[in-house]
């Protein structure tokens, strides 16, 4: 862990298994992590100790994400489920099922009224939490590795193993604008709030879009929206099963 204007601090002993994802609580005091040992953990950064271990999944936990200014936490797993946690009460109020492939990443919208799930079947699921109604968007030719809402919560972007980034207008036509980046899979990306640039991370990436650049190998680059081209995206509405645990 890194604190601005201070020395580096590390949380040790997180897991003996690979740790796949982490998410800061908005207070800056807590950090959630998840690993292949099928658990998610809540860490107190002041004491550098584990405050809570969350056990509900039957396979590797691939993603964790805190809702801003809330104790609610989402976890996505290779067991094809997404779990909603209340970290203050240490309970699991809801489990979302419906994927036929591993859930690679999950994120809340800014309002907390919806979530997006990146799936190994090449789809992105948009779920309204109140109704548990889900829309499935098939815009990739391979596993979807990463998904993000924009800061307004009206647009969803996804990236996958097919080397494409899809921009989906979730509150309008659900039409996707697609950017073909490279034959390499995209592992992760970040949407900048202040401008339309997107940073991406791919393994052994060779930038083929900028012929004037001397250096060919990069771990990340930026693209403007003008590089995006339209592609057809199938959509369908379905209900996800919600299991309420008492």
pLDDT for 77: 95
pLDDT for 3: 52
Distances (CA, A) of 63 to 20, 82, 94, 179, 212: 7, 9, 16, 24, 37
6 in any annotated domain: no
pLDDT for 15: 60
162 in any annotated domain: yes
pTM over 0.95: no
146 in any annotated domain: yes
**What is the mean pLDDT of the segment spanning 213-219?**
31
12 in any annotated domain: no
5 in any annotated domain: no
Higher pLDDT, 11 or 137: 137
pLDDT for 132: 80
CA distance 192 to 112: 20
Contact 200, 159 (CB under 8 A): yes
**Does pLDDT of 5 surpass 70?**
no
CA distance 105 to 60: 12
User: Residue 159 sits in a domain of what CATH number?
Assistant: 2.130.10.10
Higher pLDDT, 156 or 31: 31
pLDDT for 145: 82
DSSP string spanning 24-76?
E-TTSSEEEEEETTSEEEEEETTTTEEEEEEE--SS-EEEEEEPTTSSEEEEE
121 in any annotated domain: yes
**What is the mean pLDDT of the segment spanning 68-76?**
92
- The percentage of the chain sitting over the pLDDT mark of 90, rounded to a whole number, equals 28
Residue 97 token pair: 């099922």
Residue 244 token pair: 């309420």
Q: Which domain covers residue 169, as residue numbers?
A: 19-241
177 in any annotated domain: yes
Number of domains in the chain: 1
pLDDT for 129: 84
63 in any annotated domain: yes
Of 108-112, 129-133, 164-168, where does mean pLDDT reach its minimum? Answer: 164-168
**Does pLDDT of 66 surpass 60?**
yes
DSSP string spanning 125-188?
EEEETTT-EEEEEE--SS-EEEEEE-TTSSEEEEEETTSEEEEEETTTT--EEEEE--SSPP-E
pLDDT for 239: 41
pLDDT for 98: 79
pLDDT digits (tens, 9 = 90+) for 113-161: 889 998 888 888 888 888 888 888 877 777 888 888 887 777 888 887 7
């Amino acid at each position: 862990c890194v604190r601005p204007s201070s020395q580096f601090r590390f949380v040790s002993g997180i897991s003996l298994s690979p740790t796949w994802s982490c998410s800061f609580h908005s207070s800056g005091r807590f950090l959630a992590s998840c690993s292949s040992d099928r658990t998610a953990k809540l860490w107190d950064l002041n004491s550098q100790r584990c405050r809570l271990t969350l056990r509900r999944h039957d396979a590797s936990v691939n993603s964790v994400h805190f809702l801003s200014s809330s104790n609610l936490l989402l976890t996505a797993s290779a067991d094809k489920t997404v779990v909603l946690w209340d970290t203050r009460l240490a309970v699991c109020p809801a489990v979302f099922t419906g994927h036929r492939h591993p859930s690679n990443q999950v994120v809340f919208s800014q309002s907390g009224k919806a979530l997006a799930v990146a799936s190994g079947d090449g789809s992105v699921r948009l779920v309204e939490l109140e109704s548990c109604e889900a829309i499935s968007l098939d815009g990739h030719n391979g596993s979807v590795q990463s998904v993000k809402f924009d800061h307004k919560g009206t647009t969803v972007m996804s990236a996958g193993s097919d080397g494409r980034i899809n921009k989906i207008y979730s509150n309008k036509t659900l039409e996707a604008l697609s950017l073909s980046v490279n034959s390499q899979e995209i592992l992760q990306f970040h949407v900048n709030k202040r401008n339309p640039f997107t940073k991406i991370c791919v393994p052994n990436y060779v930038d083929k879009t900028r012929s004037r650049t001397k250096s060919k190998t990069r771990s990340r680059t930026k693209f403007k929206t003008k590089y995006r081209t339209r592609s057809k995206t199938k959509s369908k509405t379905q209900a996800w099963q919600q299991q309420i645990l008492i």
